[in-house]
Amino acid sequence: MTSTRVISLSILNGLLGVFGTVLNTTVVFVIFKNKDLRKGLNLFILSLSLADLLSNVLAQPIYIYLLAHGTESDLHNLIKAFHFFAFVSLHASTNNLAAITLYRLRALSRLFRHLILISRKQTWCAIVTVWSAAITMAVFFDIEPGKSAAPYIHLLVILAWIGSYAGIYGLVRQHKQRISSKEGMVSCPFMMANLKYESEAAKTSAILVGTSVICFFPDVVYELLGVAEKTRLQWAYTLLFANAVINPCVFVCRSQQFRRAFRKTCRCV
């Protein structure tokens, strides 16, 4: 790569790393400090922020170093370590988003039932599964036959995301029709308010998944073409790591509960 391109990508990744570290650290700190946030879906958001933070503080600095010293011949071990940290953080991020998607599907499918969707213990078990799967994927996709299977598995995940949110959209329409048929009943305002809340939450999840698809899809295309390893080190990791900055921005902008907790935390510090 030309020196201008290396400098530009290094500066861009440096800025993304700094902003991502500040934003994700803020999300993690506020959730830990506020008991009301340490439950349900917010625990998956906490796990997502930790995955993104791993990209910001470990994978991205190594990538900046590799951009500047990519022509050196004794970087094999560093590249292997970088691939492991990058793969773990990126797959943990996508796994957490998959868990969030399943949570939203379950919430909408049980919209009018007064049930606890998932206990705190079940949530932590799911998060352990998410990270265990991410570590397994990081190892498996870096060796054969994992390398050959990776593009098809990644494409399948994207298609599953799209199908899931099509299902969520269908559930929202179904619930609206159900509420309309019961117009005039005492419970109707409560049902509409509940649907509105879940619809907004699902929209937030859809934005998180949508931005992830935008960041990850070019890499999947290059995987299918068989040139992903080359393009990743040249520039594609920049786009993949950008998602670690976008995720906390989306969450902070969309969650009133988090912003209230953030203001409360700032007053207490």
The confidence band for 188, taking pLDDT boundaries of 50, 70 and 90, is low
Q: How far apart are CA 123 and CA 126, in angstroms?
A: 5
pLDDT of amino acid 126: 92
The band of 39, judged by pLDDT with boundaries at 50, 70 and 90, is confident
pTM (2 d.p.):
0.91
By C-alpha distance, which of 269, 158, 176 is closest to 220?
158
pLDDT 10s digits, 172-186: 888 777 777 666 564
Q: Above 70 in pLDDT, residue 228?
A: yes
Average pLDDT, integer, range 187-214? 82
For residue range 113-172, what is the model confidence (pLDDT) as tens digits?
645 567 788 889 999 999 999 999 999 998 888 889 999 999 999 999 999 998 888 888
CB 96 within 8 A of CB 212: no
Closest CA to 238 of 117, 3, 54, 60: 60
Q: How far apart are CA 121 and CA 118, in angstroms?
A: 8
- Given a cut of 80, whether residue 242 has pLDDT beyond it is yes
Quick one: DSSP state of residue 185? S
* pLDDT tens-place string over residues 52-63: 999 999 999 999
Question: pLDDT class for 112, splitting at 50, 70, 90?
Answer: low
Contact 157, 165 (CB under 8 A): no
Report the distance separating Cα 58 and Cα 77, nearest Å.
15
